[in-house]
Amino acid sequence: MSKRTQLVKRRKALGLSQEDFANAAETDRATVGRWERGESTPQPIHRPKLMRILQVDADELDRLLSPEQAAESPPLAVAVDSGDPDDMIRRDFLRLLALTGSMAMLPVDPQLPEERFEDFEAMNGHLWQVYQLARSKSAVLPLVRDQLSVLSGAFSAGRGSKRLCVLSADLFQLAGEAFFDGDRYTDAAQCYMLAMSASREAGAYDLWACALTRHAYVGLYERRHGEASEMLTVAERVALQGDSSLSTRHWVASVQAQAFAGLGAMDDCERALERAEQVMELPAGSSNDGWLRFDGSRLAEERGARYVELGRLDLAEQALTAALKQSTLAKGLSYRRRGAVLADLAIVGAKRRDIEETLTHAYEAVDLARRSGSGYIARRLQSLRAELAPVVSDARIAELDSEIVALNVS
């Protein structure tokens, strides 16, 4: 295997010796040397640390870990009858999801070594970290597939338990998040349904409520606010049976606010936002940085987005401007969050027929959508297009509209 010269260059560009790099990665210098010579590849457990040390996302890390000759070699030919490789991977992934989901519902022997559970839980946690750091969220799917294979093996060997159901439900939700970000709503919904079943089987109410809430998001983004509201009502009831020290019920409330805004119910939306804001009264540790990430840090942008939907432009601008200022000051805030805020500010500008404001915010959001590959930002910008229609005769607006169209089909 060829040397990983790009990895070496990146390390040196950051002023790190092999020993510095090894210490930061919690490994030894010899291991770093093998990585750089292409004699071995970092395990998934190392990836979140490497991304932080090298200051790159998941896609850039993959590039750094690719042998130099890979970029120079022509791509391998694909047989005519092999089908779309991405679609084949997707079908295999969904097959594994269904298999693991079915096994999670079967009665099994509850015996499994405690340290094995700890390994599974640690890997699930690492995968959520990789997902959050990745600009292209679909990059995490192969890693989730591998972890599901391991869990499936534990089930098929007759060594399952409620803890394995919880671990499976956790992974199903992560897979759903990745599919959802790639606009694969049907696949995401399937993942969330499996997560509901597995968490219900385990009696894990908070995990169950989160799966219901994520499924409701599918309805929200397809503008089926009534259906989403019904599912969120169930999620609220399930969450109330869970751990009151967790932020689950507050997250459900914040998503309910989105459903109410879509229905034009201002008072219900305000009450839901007030319930969501009670998360600030919870002690540290109310979220887990995995399937439950709601900590109240997004409330300003969420409130702003709801006011946009309700047509309360002054309130929207005030909340979104505060969120944008917060995002500027906050270190490491994701592209997708900043891009979503900018898209909403562009919508405010378009509703006011303020072309300059619209163009300024929209083009920055388009740039962030391209750099991140996030379907989340693209969906927000798609909402902007409807607001641009009355002023599309302006050449600058017409050009912006074309940029958004290209973004959504690319």
- Encode pLDDT of 103-137 as tens digits: 555 554 455 555 667 888 888 999 998 888 876 77
Q: Are residues 193 and 167 in the same domain?
A: yes
Q: Are residues 47 and 65 in the same domain?
A: yes
Q: What is the tally of structural domains in the chain?
A: 3
Q: Are residues 234 and 353 in the same domain?
A: no
**Which one of 321, 339, 370 terminates a domain?**
321
**Domain membership flag for residue 139:** yes
**Which one of 41, 72, 103 terminates a domain?**
72
SS3 240: coil
Residue 65: CATH number of its domain: 1.10.260.40
* Closest C-alpha to 298, from 265, 282, 314, 320: 320
Q: Are residues 19 and 111 in the same domain?
A: no
pLDDT of 259 reads 97
pLDDT of 92 reads 62
DSSP code per residue over 255-301: HHHHHHHHTT-HHHHHHHHHHHHGGGGSPTTS--SSS----STTHHH
Instruction: Give the number of other CB atoms < 10 A from CB of residue 368.
Output: 23
- The C-alpha atoms of residue 292 and residue 20 are separated, in whole angstroms, by 34
Q: Are residues 202 and 257 in the same domain?
A: yes
Residue 134: CATH number of its domain: 1.25.40.10
Contact by Cβ (8 Å): 219, 227:
yes
Residues in the chain with pLDDT values less than 70: 1-2, 44-45, 67-116, 135, 154-160, 327-333, 374, 408-410
pLDDT of 79 reads 34
Domain that holds residue 48: 5-72
**Domain membership flag for residue 157:** yes
* Closest C-alpha to 121, from 295, 289, 246: 289
pLDDT of 33 reads 82
* Closest C-alpha to 106, from 157, 148, 147, 145: 157
**Which one of 295, 321, 347 terminates a domain?**
321
Q: Are residues 251 and 387 in the same domain?
A: no
Q: Are residues 215 and 227 in the same domain?
A: yes
Q: Are residues 363 and 253 in the same domain?
A: no
Q: Are residues 296 and 379 in the same domain?
A: no
Q: Tell me the C-alpha to C-alpha distance, in Å, between residue 329 and each of 59, 278, 322, 356, 368.
A: 25, 24, 11, 25, 17
pLDDT of 75 reads 36
pLDDT of 67 reads 64
- The C-alpha atoms of residue 307 and residue 302 are separated, in whole angstroms, by 9
